[in-house]
Amino acid sequence: GVLLGGEGLRPTVDGYRIKYSSASPVEATKGPFDVEGESHVSGWWILKTKDAEEALSWAKKIPFKDGEVTKRRLAEMEDFGGN
């Protein structure tokens, strides 16, 4: 099938934001986070399609009343220099 996997994410109260900086140690902040007006991920799906056009065709079938989906490709080993 086309759908390889997907999950919804729990509320931000159960999460952390981890900040990385070359100038300071890694910093973890416990939720909840104010996400009003912010773009945030609330779930994910992985579809295996032959091309972007097919992926967009499937995305148009999502039964949302309101919302937004971002389509991105998964990185493959060759995207990291082929080692």
Enumerate helices (H) and strands (E) in the chain, giving the number of each. 1, 4
φ/ψ of 9, rounded to 5, equals -100, 145
| Residue 52 confidence (pLDDT) | 94
- The answer to whether the Cα torsion of 9, 75, 68, 55 is positive or negative is negative
5 touches 46 (CB < 8 A): yes
CB 29 within 8 A of CB 17: yes
pLDDT at 4 over 90: yes
Condensed to tens digits (0 to 9), the pLDDT of residues 56-75 reads 999 999 888 888 889 999 99
Q: Which residue has the higher pLDDT, 36 or 18?
A: 18
3-state SS class at 47 = strand
